[in-house]
Amino acid sequence: MPTWLIYGFTSALLWGTDTIFSKIVTSEKYLKIDASNASLLMLAGIILVFLTFFIIKATGLSLGMKGLGFALIFGLIFYIMFALKSNGVELSFPVISFGLLQGCFWALGMVFTFLAFSSGAEAAKLVPIYNTNTLVAVFLGIFFLHELPMPDERVKVITGAVMIVIGTILISK
């Protein structure tokens, strides 16, 4: 199996899971964080992943610059948390953890997409592969959030899922 294909499926898994975290953070049923505050929480996770990935992979940075980069990460996350608290968000453990996870999973999905492209993936093949994140989100929604479709919708959901799987198999060959 080509490396880019593994990266593509990893992106799908991460983005499908990110969708569930986003639902938990913003839904009235769960944490009830409004969209602008949820976006800022997500940004903290994105910053954490992207800057950490850069600092670890950067070969031209001195130890001092890497240390400064990690200090920047913590400073930005501290600022975001302070801004959220000032904006009236109750920063409980679930809010912080699911908020950061939604950003971390999204950003990791992007990192694996970048790795897939740098491993030789063609956009016409990779994009449908990582868009199987829809299947991941549907299954996680059903099993963890108990969002079982109504009986008249189940046939549509199952048919759509089967079509996504068939398309993915055709493209990955």
State pLDDT tens for residues 92-140. Answer: 999 999 999 999 999 999 999 999 999 999 999 999 999 999 999 999 9
- Residue 157's pLDDT band, with cuts at 50, 70 and 90, is confident
Predicted structure pTM score: 0.93
Instruction: Sketch the domain layout of the chain as residue ranges.
Output: 3-172
State pLDDT tens for residues 160-172. Answer: 888 988 988 888 7
Task: Kindly give the residue spans of alpha helices, DSSP state H, lying in 58-150.
Answer: 63-86, 93-118, 123-130, 133-144
Q: Could you tell me how far CA 111 lies from the centroid of its own chain? A: 10
State pLDDT tens for residues 44-103. Answer: 999 999 999 999 999 999 999 999 999 999 999 999 999 999 999 999 999 999 999 999
